[in-house]
Amino acid sequence: MTKNIKIVLLLLFALGAGTALYFTPHLTLHNIKKAVDKKDAVALSDYVDYPALRENLKASINAKMAGELMREKDDNPFKALGAALAAVFLDKMIDAFITPESLSMMMKGQKPQIEKTKGEKEAKSPSEEPDIETSTSYETLNRFVVKIKEKRSSDPPVEFVFKRDGIFSWKLSAVRLPW
């Protein structure tokens, strides 16, 4: 092989590898969507880093509660006691809330519920499914964000943060809630 052919082949390989690396989070999202549509909790769980996700939500909610407590400065000791008790129950609540089923509901733009009542419907009919607006972007080379919100809503979107797990795979590691 001549030197020029080797350079061209090397450039083509680099271009192909770069393109593959760029589109890997999109492939992950496609696989997650298939798992959500099939209601396959095991397949969905392959794309979620549950310990990191739970810790992220605990920190986010604790920070929100602390901010609310600091903003409402009064001398009521029961507010501080209530915040301390809420922090104790936070771990159990988040562990119950972060499940493949609740994640798939959030990814469809629905609000997940921790418990269902006996008379409640199992799933919404297709006509009741909300119209959602989705946008994706890289924040860094190893962080990819998916923003989901209802089309006609003025609320800020829920942001799903994916982090690179190895070279070609991605895992959901954080959820940024719209406070």
Contact present, 106 and 149 (Cβ < 8 Å): no
CATH class assigned to 22-109+130-176: alpha beta
Domain-by-domain residue ranges, the chain? 22-109+130-176
CA distance 145 to 159: 6
pLDDT band at 165 (very low <50, low <70, confident <90, very high): very high
170 burial class (0-12, 13-18, 19+ CB within 10 angstroms)?
A: buried
Please name every residue paired with 132 in a beta bridge, in sequence order, or none if there are none. Answer: 150
- Identify the pLDDT of residue 120: 44
- The residue ranking higher by pLDDT, 93 or 171, is 171
- Over residues 19-30, the mean pLDDT reads 92
* pLDDT score of 27 more than 90: yes
As a three-state string, the secondary structure of 138-155 is EEECCEEEEEEEECCCCC
Percent of the chain with pLDDT over 90: 31
- Identify the pLDDT of residue 39: 81
Those residues whose C-beta lies under 8 Å from the C-beta of residue 91, and which sit 6 or more positions away, are 58
Those residues whose C-beta lies under 8 Å from the C-beta of residue 50, and which sit 6 or more positions away, are 98
- Per-residue pLDDT tens over the stretch 47-59: 999 899 989 988 8
